[in-house]
Chain A
Amino acid sequence: MNTDFTHHQSAHCENGVASNLLRHNGLNISEPMVFGIGSGLFFIYLPFIKVNHAPAISYRPMPGLIFNRLAKRLGLKIKRQKFASESSAAAVLDENLRNNIPTGLQVGVYNLTYFPDEYRFHFNAHNLVVYGKTETDYLISDPVMQNVTTLTHAELNKVRFAKGAFAPRGQMYYPIQIPAHVDLKSAIIKGIKATCNVMLAPVFIVGVKGIKYVAGQIKKWPKKYGTKKANHYLAQMVRMQEEIGTGGGGFRFIYAAFLQEASVILNNEKLKELSAEMTVIGDLWRDFAVEASRIYKNRSTQNDAYNKVSDQLLHIAELEGAFFKKLKNAIS
């Protein structure tokens, strides 16, 4: 079984799967568009949840949310299924492939054999598309990879039933209904509004306030936890921000690309200016990563270095605070 599916590489897995599946179904929509309309830009700091033995910091919303919001805002219907048993999960997937439906799956990363070993962590919010099946293998389009790849039947079962936080429980999804005409303009405006609201939310661990809070905490890390642990925390933060899937700068560059595309569709010059501004902010996030990497590379203990990255982060938070206010005004 083999469906006629075209693979496009993307920066982030969920946007990529959404964009690839929709393109396959005749709705030509880019990855930044999916990300922007689905309000993918986010920041949350959860010090009481530990990921890889460091406080959880996320630059994206809960898995599945981007695609769901996109579907709602464009009026698409997506079918999502979870399964109690591996055999029924495999049977339903096979049935889909027989009906020529490429299918999106939520999977765990740890057993994805085509990933470099260093990238295999227990992270369960990865997404890929299965577009065919042979005697031994499933044909896989993983949007963060340059080319299509394969997993054996047993391997795919394993990643679909990975355990831990966000366990996928075999989750599969695919669009079942796409309207002939979609209203991109109003969807873009809704997407931008929601992003502004969450980034400016009056909650101390979310959005711009969350970034400010982390900046304050970073200063205290070396004293509170010792150099080693503080360095580990900082390294984990940079990984969340820059690792495959973010497109760099904690998704800021993808978002800037979205704003540029949106400025053309909405015929709004202001959005183009704001796109350039977001690019500058993205570059500042990159500078923060460079400075942070110096700290954990040298294993340096000077509080000075921690104060410096903390100030960088505060500066970013201030710029973003002003930015999202301007963005909100630009579309209202």
Chain B
Amino acid sequence: MRCGDFRESYAEDMSIFESPLPRVLLGFLLVLLLALPAFATTYWLDVLNRIFIAIIAATGLNILTGFTGLISLGTAAFLAVGGYATAALAGKAGLPFVVVIPLAGALTALVGLVFGIPSLRLKGLYLAVATLAAHYVVEFTVTHWDSVTGGVNGISVPAARVGSLALGDDKRIYFLILVLMVGLLFFAKNLFRTKVGKAFVAVRDQDISAAVMGVNVFRYKLLAFAVSSFYIGVAGSLLAYQARIISPENFPITVAIDYLGMVIIGGLGSILGSIFGAVFITLLPELLRLANDALAAHWPSAMGLFAPFKSIVFGLVIVLFLIFEPDGMAARWHHIKNYWKLYPFSY
């Protein structure tokens, strides 16, 4: 904390921004992000879109796992529900995206509620495996319900439209994704300043104590499942609109593991952490691909080794991060910030 930075009221204590400067910087960042499509190439726009979608889903998972303490391996399944709901609602029913995206989110929230019911009795690892069951049930449904999901061949999704303008390419859908991401992040950040958010954290810290203090534990666990699944469902919906074709191959169990990696590396119980983690884990394979391409120019056999190379580096990064920075990137960021705030007199 800075010298002379006294908080004199509860409102001040709860404020998101410590000083006016971050507010201004955040404004600049937003303007920069809005201006970015004018400069970025299609490839990097695609990467950016995927990063933003990952941020939404990682925030959702962090609400469940980081803030409420319920470990979930069902992220890939919930993404799939959001994606296929979009394919059905936009493709078959022909609804506009302003209706489809919230509906896809709501539907995923409903599915999340159903799969959250075991949390009434299950805790910790047992609950994690129950969500793994959710993954396999959804995967089974998706591959077998051919009339709606197109089975293993996948299904195409029409482009989102604003009036007569189709948001077909990465440049146009970028703005839709950006706006939704900012809105959802804003909501999540504020959620934890309300009674509901504080109840989530109480359940995570010690659910019996929370119950003693009058928090209806089961209700809030289910609510956490619903809110989290809503976020992931919206992310899945955007994924469908961006990729334009989805198949069961888009949602393997490894996706759920990647997302778990994002929230843990980024920082459990931190919105900023979800952002850091999502950016890092989505960028990592892209950077590795660039490195591998550069390597392959001199040493052609590197080309075939890309997949194992990626897997090894991903594993190493996770292991090293957990050993050396177990609280995640968000904690490191706070350390750095505090160091420079007081520099050079750190005591």
Q: Decide if A and B are genuine partners.
A: no
Binding site for A on B (CB under 8 A): none
- Which residues of A are at the interface with B, using a C-beta cutoff of 8 A? none
